[in-house]
Chain A
Amino acid sequence: MADVRLPFPRVAAPARPRRFPGWVLVLPPVAALGVVFLHPLALVLWQSVSPDGGGHSFAAYGEVFAQAAFRDALRNTVLIAAGATAGSLALGFALALVIAFVPLPGGKALARFIDVFLSFPSFLITLALLFVYGTAGIANGLWTGTTGAAAGPFDFLHTPWGVLLAEITYFTPFVMRPLLAAFAQIDPAQLDVAASLGARVPRIVRQVILPEALPSLAAGGSLVLVMCLNEFGIVLFTGAKGVTTLPVLVYGKAILDGDYTGACVVAVVDIALSLALYGLYRTLTHRLDGARRARA
């Protein structure tokens, strides 16, 4: 009896002391990111203060800021981004409202279609608009066919309005997706109660639905604002010589003119603008997240 041996205890083995702290494991991916992203960004910053002649100066900044092309690009970028964001928010809110609260047959399929839409590249929209509103497109063909005129009235694709239309089309789904998720959280009984108490539709939308949707609207809106600022494909595809945005200017200076220092200066301004807005977006979503958790 004395030499009955218990099996080796498998439960509650004492934890082995760790040979290295946990954060060491974080280093390889962060190092990889550093080599292919952070370090190159730092080099862009460095190049922007290192003119071709050698030495270091902020002369390139003064030069670029003095160019009318740069000021135009900056103004275009900000105005188009602001306009496209406002347009996407309005259109996205209206469309999501209908999908969520005035259900129509095939609404589920529409929501899935939106998901697919998000994964396609933006320049397809401009390509499509060229066929619809281009000089030989559907709209102008319709006009010349019915009135007999030599040319149609639609000639806005190469203006900022064309870029605006394309961006609103492309970015509206980015607003709709978080909105649909937020609308799914609203108890339909709330709407019925409000209606039975005599509130009309505009008032229900304003006082019941909008407050619930506000966090998603803010988050979606600021994300779209950042994406519009960075949008390149849409502007490039319109081929509009009159519409230059900061990303297009970076491309033009670096690839077409071979002026790397100038391109880096514009890039630094572009990064600063985007990062500032992105920081705002993160603060908004964080605060709203916190508020939501606090309420729950």
Chain B
Amino acid sequence: MLVHSRRARRAVHAVFLALFLPVFALPFLVVAAASLATRWSGILPAGVTLDHYRAATGGDAIDALTTSLLTALAASALALVTGTWAALAAKGSRARRVVGLLFMLPVAVPSVVVGLSLLVAFSRPPLLLNGTSTIVVLAHAVLVTSFAHQAVSAALDRLDPAYEQAAASLGAGPVRVLLRVRLPLLLPSLSAAAGLCFALSMGELSATIMLYPPDWVPLPVKVFAATDRGALFSGAALAVVLMVTTFLVLLAVSRIRTRAVHR
């Protein structure tokens, strides 16, 4: 306890809330309120309507949501497999530093540039992917692989080697040790990494906007298109749909995680 007098503590808390609430809570409240409003030209929004949600859950918009979900699922799966594989294979080998560095690079490179590079590389034969959904998935996978790799290698470092040594000394082969000992022990960190990858991919805009074909429009692009043509309220409704979906998936993943930890 840093501040002992009750009055001083109250003052500190007041200042804290005065900073925290407008800066962090207000954005969510405002977007949520706007998604229900017909007009907003005062302190409070005027007129309650569900029209924006009707628009945000029908036709185009629902396609965008499915697109985002599918992209996020595919990209997270790719990123988890590649990141985990690299972390497991590099563990204890001399290549570990190099592999770690290579897999951290996508974080340091601007996402827009990742998009541009895929555009430059796959707009020509032999791999002509420009204009397909595959290129969007690939971009997302590249961008989130670093997080998967980092989470898994950190978890591997903390893993007690006694378990796998015991299994190996009892005659289990490397594949069996991997499948029955290491991966189950890594399950909590794997699911945490999956949640993070999924959330990041759901909200990815920078690389997507460079690459998306007209028949594969993820939700963030849709939100941008709506606000760009001045339809702020439907943009807000779409954003709420995006946030709620991401949040629900994260919640489900953390449920799985707690169960995995308790087992």
**Which residues of chain A are within 8 angstroms of B16 by Cβ–Cβ distance?**
95, 98-99, 102, 104
A155 CB to closest chain B CB, in angstroms?
Answer: 15
A37 touches B31 (CB 8 A): no
How distant is the Cα of A198 from the Cα of B116 in the complex, in angstroms?
A: 59
Question: How many A residues have CB within 8 A of the partner chain?
Answer: 92
Are A131 and B40 also in contact (CB < 8 A) when A44-B113, A110-B20, A270-B110 are? yes
**Distance in angstroms between the alpha carbons of A142 and B42 in the assembled complex:** 6
A215 to B20, CA, bound (A): 24
B49, CB-defined interface residue at 8 Å: no
Select B30's contact among A128, A172, A274, beta carbons within 8 Å: A128
Q: Given A97, A101, A275, which contacts B108 in the complex, CB threshold below 8 Å?
A: A275
Cβ of A232 under 8 Å from chain B: yes
Contact B171 A250 (CB under 8 A): no
Contact at B206–A44, with CB atoms within 8 Å? no
The smallest beta-carbon distance between A189 and chain B, in angstroms, is: 11
What is the interface residue range for chain B against chain A?
35 or more
Q: Nearest Cβ in chain B — how far from A99, in angstroms?
A: 8
A29 near B: Cβ within 8 Å? Answer: yes
A11 near B95 with CB under 8 A, answer no
Is there an interface contact between A23 and B94, defined as CB atoms closer than 8 Å? yes
Given A22-B89, A131-B31, are A102 and B236 neighbors across the interface (CB < 8 Å)? no
Judge whether B252 is part of the interface by a CB distance below 8 angstroms. Answer: no
Whether B196 and A250, one on each chain, are in contact in the complex, defined by CB atoms closer than 8 angstroms, is no
Interface residues of B in 94-119 (CB under 8 A from A): 94-95, 99, 102-114, 116-119
Instruction: Decide: A275 and B31 in contact? CB cutoff 8 A.
Output: no
Q: Contact partner of B227 among A38, A130, A172, A270, CB < 8 A? A: A130
> Is A32 a contact partner of B82 (Cβ separation < 8 A)?
yes
Is B220 in contact with chain A by the CB < 8 A criterion? yes
Known interface pairs A22-B93, A121-B242, A247-B206; 5 further A-B residue pairs with C-beta atoms within 8 A, sorted by A's residue number: A40-B114, A91-B23, A121-B205, A131-B236, A145-B42
By Cβ-Cβ distance, the 3 closest A-B pairs, closest first, are A121-B203, A128-B27, A278-B108
**9 A-B interface contacts by CB (under 8 A):** A123-B223, A124-B27, A124-B243, A131-B34, A141-B42, A191-B1, A232-B112, A254-B210, A263-B116
